[in-house]
Amino acid sequence: MYLSGVDRAKPQKLYYQILEILKEHIEKGKWRVGTQIPTEEQLSGQYNVSRATVRLAVEELVSTGYLKKFQGKGTFVRRRKPDSSIAMLVNLDKSDIYYNPSCITRIIENKTLQPDKDVINCLNLSDEDHCFFFSRLTIVDGAPLFLQKFYISYNLMPGSINNKEIADISSYEFLENKCGLKIQRVKEIMDVSRISEKDAGLLELASNPDVLRVRHICYTQGDTPVSFSESFYRTDLYARTLELERLRI
């Protein structure tokens, strides 16, 4: 059974409800790979919402790889990257990188801000909520290795945090030791991404390069999301190895 339409009594924004409807059509096979989806005007009439609302939902599905736009032709369902989900028990303390004696962490930003829609959706925030945000650059052997951007709801912060308090600890140590949160699980998403010229400059890369993007969403007990981070790694300097062991059941 498919979602039938929007419910204006729900707290979710209309565009997000449209997004979920369209995504369900794709994931459940109603719209198969290569199918051209209805136009903005058709979807607007079908769900009784504005074209701007439909456009916002479609653009997000394009950015997350569900749809692809072709100039002069329309919008089509695309073949998504395979999602290889692996459940593992991991040590959430510092990465081995931080134990390298040549490792230096430089704080780029440390501030309160209103997050974008991706962070709002990941952390189940409202449009009025603010986040504590920091970005930091990790340098190993004199070369910038990765840039991390970290968000947590401002309501979960114990107070103001200075640069020294976030320079030399992992995100998980920050959440548990500084914010008093017990992390139960972490969702990790890895893909290849483009970064801005500003971020490329920090990583000492040519403009508009491909980097490895690693996103983390941390959850406490009750499956409550409390933080979102994304790290951008130089692919010429970084490699990740996963060693998996079959569970004996």
Let me know if residue 249 belongs to a domain.
no
Same domain? For 150 and 72 the reply is no
Same domain? For 19 and 127 the reply is no
Same domain? For 110 and 218 the reply is yes
For the cut 80, the answer to whether the pLDDT of residue 93 exceeds it is no
Same domain? For 139 and 176 the reply is yes
Mean pLDDT of 43-72: 89
pLDDT band at 48 (very low <50, low <70, confident <90, very high): very high
Same domain? For 70 and 102 the reply is no
Contacts of residue 17, defined as CB under 8 A and 6 or more positions apart, other chains included, come to: 3, 6, 7, 10
Mean pLDDT of the chain: 85
Considering the chain, what percentage of its residues have pLDDT values greater than 90?
42
Q: What is the pTM of this model?
A: 0.64
The pLDDT value given to residue 134 = 95
The pLDDT value given to residue 135 = 96
What range does the domain containing 177 cover?
96-233
100-128 per-position pLDDT tens digit: 667 889 999 999 999 998 899 889 999 89
The pLDDT value given to residue 154 = 92
Mean pLDDT of 17-36: 89
Token pair recorded at residue 174 = 């920050």
The pLDDT value given to residue 1 = 47
The pLDDT value given to residue 96 = 55
The pLDDT value given to residue 72 = 87
Same domain? For 157 and 203 the reply is yes
The pLDDT value given to residue 137 = 95
CATH code at 23?
1.10.10.10
Same domain? For 221 and 179 the reply is yes
The larger pLDDT score, comparing residue 141 to residue 120, is at: 120
Mean pLDDT of 184-210: 89
The pLDDT value given to residue 130 = 94
Same domain? For 57 and 100 the reply is no
Same domain? For 64 and 136 the reply is no
For the cut 60, the answer to whether the pLDDT of residue 85 exceeds it is no
